[in-house]
Amino acid sequence: MTRPRPRALSIAGSDPSGGAGIQADLKTFSALGVYGMTAITAITVQNTKGVSGIEAVSPAVVAAQIEAVASDIGVDAAKTGMLANAGIVKAVADAVRQARIGNLVVDPVSVSKHGHLLLERDALDGLRSQILPLALLVTPNLPEAEALCGLTVRTRDDMRRAAEAILALGATAVLVKGGHLAGGTAADLLVDPDGEEWLEAERIETPHTHGTGCTLSAAIAAHLAMGEDLRTSVRAGKRFVTGAIAHALAIGKGIGPVDQLWMSAMPDLR
């Protein structure tokens, strides 16, 4: 009997340029051999130069998408990205709870690479109170960590304090991404029930970083869908996104995307 393919669901916005959001997540799932599904929360108008428009999907339709795939195909792991507004935040929380999705990775997307607001300000409280308690893992960068916990996050010690504050909101684990730290190392801090672990990689100097957060959270979700434990999944996700950044694509006239298909010529690295 053929082994069922692992199933992962992305609950996020659509990026027509293909660099981030739903499109980046599906590329990541496919690159890792996982069957990808989507619940689209918003249609963005964007390219490598920035976001020029956002049209949110109705909360009822977002919830119906999650229910449709969960009740039929099933979900081994899911990730959230852009949730747009308070109504969608509540609808996603209710739908995830009803579908009993346990392996939930929350990428608390709030601002684009170009500085465009992707989460309405009144939705942040809902993200804290309704989504984070459902999360197996939350993956904020430094500005997102500051928004979630209300602390200044500039150093490694700040990252520790922020992680503890985010865990206090109900998440099982948190990965504070240190890409904004100064220095030659890209250091992320994982804090889970077993303690803490620093994941470090050489910083790759490139202007083309569109989709890094989406790609990392999707890769972690994919490995969770495969049945791997949290720490193994996070380490594998870090390796995957580091490779994607190293092979970033100089596409367009602005911030180009990382390459989720970088392993296609090196399948033994998966």
Evaluated on CA atoms 247, 21, 160, 233, the torsion sign reads: negative
- The owner of tokens 């909101």 is 169
With H, G, I as helix, E, B as strand and everything else as coil, classify residue 19.
Answer: coil
In 3D space, the residue among 33, 27, 9, 3 whose CA is nearest the CA of residue 103 turns out to be: 9
What's the half-sphere exposure (Cβ side, CA atoms, 13 Å) at 18?
7
- Give how far Cα 117 sits from Cα of 22, 54, 65, 94, 124, Å: 17, 10, 24, 24, 12
Q: What are the tokens at 31?
A: 């690159």
- Give how far Cα 229 sits from Cα of 11, 31, 99, Å: 21, 19, 21
Cα separation, 84 vs 121, in Å, equals 9
Q: What are the tokens at 173?
A: 């684990």
Length of the chain: 270
Q: What amino acid positions are annotated as catalytic residues?
A: 177, 209, 211-214
